[in-house]
Amino acid sequence: SQQGEEDPQALSIQEGENATMNCSYKTSINNLQWYRQNSGRGLVHLILIRSNEREKHSGRLRVTLDTSKKSSSLLITASRAADTASYFCATDRKTGGFKTIFGAGTRLFVKA
Amino acid sequence: NAGVTQTPKFQVLKTGQSMTLQCAQDMNHNSMYWYRQDPGMGLRLIYYSASEGTTDKGEVPNGYNVSRLNKREFSLRLESAAPSQTSVYFCASSAATRSSYEQYFGPGTRLTVT
């Protein structure tokens, strides 16, 4: 079973709008990362948030982490057509050895 | 820097054939990974190598073997391909396996087994 699960599975918005994607996970984590995948390409790292952090910003990206609810959100502000991609959260486990687990992703489509 | 490179980009195999997917990184990373991605799904870890000389099974290792040839190169071998192995395969690398390090991905190999 997957540690991280994103929702929604797909999201379609107009250019200029904000896009919010959520990730829920099951067990305690050390870190949570968000990646982007453009169609047919490999994943690209966007941002990492540690378990003792609540919010992080990087350009138009804002990530929050709520460890009590075991969830994270990725907000993309003022979206652009170039933001069209799939977005994945990747989580780990505090115990049980190394294992970074990717969710199934949210497919974001930004209409120009 | 080329980052992470993979060959080939595309491959079609018949059931029972074998092949090796090649991966190389030029970032002097210690850790390397092989994932598969099936339609509409996230990545599933096949094997990883925490450092040169070590390899470990991931989530879905059956039907695959790996070799960490040196610090730069990590290959994935399918000994007897099956249609269930039709997928896109990604190689990745990171400075270390700890989850505080980001992974860098190659462009992928699209494999079809008929």
Per-residue tens of pLDDT for chain B, all 114 residues: 789 999 999 999 999 999 999 999 999 999 999 999 998 778 999 999 999 999 999 989 999 999 998 999 999 999 999 999 999 999 999 998 777 789 999 999 999 999
Confidence of residue A32 (pLDDT cuts 50, 70, 90): very high
Using CB atoms, which residue from A41, A48, A103 is nearest to B42? A103
How distant is the Cα of B61 from the closest Cα of chain A, in angstroms? 14
Residue A96: is its pLDDT beyond 60?
no
Specify the pLDDT at position B67: 97
Q: Which one, of A21, A4, A25, A3, lies nearest residue A70 by Cα?
A: A25
Minimal CA separation from A82 to chain B, in Å: 18
> Is the four-CA dihedral A79, A82, A84, A85 of positive or negative sign?
negative
Give the residue-averaged pLDDT of A88-100: 76
Question: What H or E segment, with its residue span, contains residue B67?
Answer: strand B64-68
Q: Is the pLDDT of residue A94 over 80?
A: no
pLDDT of residue A5: 82
B54 neighbourhood in chain A, CB within 8 Å: none
Minimum Cα–Cα distance from B110: chain A residue = A40
Q: Which residues of A2-27 are buried (b: 16+ CB within 10 A; e: fewer)?
A: bbbbbeeeebebeeeeebebebbbee
When scoring B35, B43, B49 by the number of chain A Cβ atoms within 10 A, the one with the most, hence best to mutate, is: B43
Chain A contact for B106, CB < 8 A?
yes
Confidence tier at A45 by pLDDT (50, 70, 90)? very high
Q: Look at residue A1 in the predicted model and tell me its pLDDT.
A: 44
At A61-93, the pLDDT tens digits run 999 999 999 999 999 999 999 999 999 999 887
Q: What is the pLDDT of residue A4?
A: 72
